[in-house]
A and B are shown apart, each in its own frame.
Chain A
Amino acid sequence: MRILVVEDDPDIARQVEAALRDAGFAVDLAFDGEEGHFLGDTEPYDAVVLDLGLPEMGGLRVLEQWRRDGKDMPVLILSARDTWREKVTGLRTGADDYLAKPFEIEELTARIEALVRRGAGHGTPILECGAIRLDTTRQKAFLGNTPLSLTSMEYRLLSYFMHHPETVLSKTELTEHIYEYDADRDSNIIEVMVNRLRNKVGANAIRTYRGRGYQMTANNDD
Chain B
Amino acid sequence: MTKTSLSLRLALSSALWIVGTLAITGALIVFLFKGHIEKRFDGQLTDHLEELVAASEISPEGRLVLTWTPADPRFNRPHSGWYWEILENGDVSHQSGSLLTARLIPLSTGSVRQPFSKTIGPSKRDLRLHAREIMLPRLSEPLVFAVAGPISDINEDIERFAGSIAVVLTVLAGFLVGIVILQVRFGLKPLRRVRQSLSAIRDGRTNRLPSDFPTEVQPLVLELNALLDYNAALLKRARTQVGNLAHSLKNPIAVLKNEMEDLPGEKGRVARHQVNAAAESIDRYLHRARIAGTGNLLGARTHLKTVAEDIRFSLAKLYANRSLEIRFENLDGVIVQVEPEDMEELLGNLLDNACKWAAKIITVSAVPEHHRVAVIVEDDGPGIPAEQLEGITKRGLRLDETKPGSGLGLGIVKEIAELYGGELAFEKSTAGGLLVRITLPLAAEIEP
Contacts and interface: CB of A to CB of B under 8 A. Distances in A.
Interface in A90-106: 91-92, 95-98, 100-105
B258 A87 contact: no
A88 B310 CA distance: 6
A113 to B, nearest CB: 11
Interface string A60-102: 0000000000000000000011111101100110011110111
B246 A80 contact: yes
Given A53-B247, A118-B320, A84 B348 contact: yes
A82 B352 CA distance: 13
A84 B184 CA distance: 51
A105 B251 contact: no
Interface of B: 243, 246-247, 249-251, 253-255, 257-259, 261, 279, 283, 290, 310-311, 313-314, 317-318, 320-321, 341, 344-345, 347-349
A114 interface: yes
Given A103-B254, A105-B261, A84 B317 contact: no
B321 A114 contact: yes
Given A15-B259, A88-B311, A102-B257, A80 B317 contact: no
A15 B318 contact: no
Contact of A82 (B246, B259, B313): B246
Contacts of A19: 258
A9 interface: yes
A83 B250 CA distance: 13
Interface of A: 9, 11-12, 15, 19, 53, 80-85, 87-88, 91-92, 95-98, 100-105, 114, 118
Contacts of B341: 83-85
Contacts of B311: 84, 88
Contacts of B258: 12, 15, 19, 105
Contacts of A11: 251, 255, 259
B253 A101 contact: yes
A114 B253 CA distance: 25
B421 to A, nearest CB: 22
Nearest to A52: B247
Given A81-B243, A87-B314, A102 B321 contact: no
